[in-house]
Homo-oligomer: A and B are copies of this chain.
């Protein structure tokens, strides 16, 4: 039977130990609850608000950790790329290349990702109408690669605030499968002076809403100690809360699937 995809892990590849702890825990939960699991971690935080923020342990070391985690857990991997030269090197290790929201109109990056033959996951820009994401999908498909999906993570509602427009989910599903990014949808860009803040208290509400609306997968960053995470701490789901979160999410996803064809 069809299952929702779960992209989940720490924000950044902080270390092998953190990655394997998170990955093994989430893998077990995902299997038990009926999600298809993909381990996620970024090898580079390329667009931090300020340049003094943590960017990662380096591309080579990060890819090494990712590869090891993927092999040990026997799970597919997703990570984001920021410039086209990274596509081939990263694709040698991971299964899904994620295109950051700010970069969803960069033709070279989309083409480079498409040419690797790996799956391409494009985040909707905070400045893009949902229906304009079809052109990003088309750019990837022009390389002959049809393995592409879209991700909703909020649109600019004035300054320092993002809103999730649930209409974007059925709109974008016309073009490709759609993942709901629970973690970044509650981000508040630049909201804390030099770094982005968050409203993680809204994560369960938005997650239920998107799941009930109808999506194909979810993206959740998690960490055993969010307050100590080296990035995105304000938005992450604590690892110990993931069991309850996934249980709720699966329930809401089943409801969305049941009613998704109802029209008026």
Contact = CB atoms under 8 A, between A and B. Distances in A.
Interface stretch (A14-22, A144-152, A159-167): A159-167
A13 interface: no
Nearest to A165: B163
A157 to B, nearest CB: 4
B165 A157 contact: yes
Contact of A259 (B166, B241, B248): B248
A129 B259 contact: no
A43 B201 CA distance: 40
Given A203-B264, A264-B203, A50 B139 contact: yes
Q: Which of A131, A161, A199, A212 has the most CB of B within 10 A?
A: A212
Number of copies: 4
A264 B245 CA distance: 8
A177 interface: no
B202 A170 contact: yes
A49 B127 contact: no
A72 interface: no
A259 B83 contact: no
A55 B264 contact: no
A208 B202 contact: no
A199 B167 contact: yes
Contact of A138 (B50, B102, B248): B50
A102 B169 CA distance: 23
12 contacts: A50-B135, A82-B108, A102-B102, A103-B106, A157-B158, A164-B166, A166-B166, A208-B212, A208-B213, A212-B255, A245-B262, A248-B259
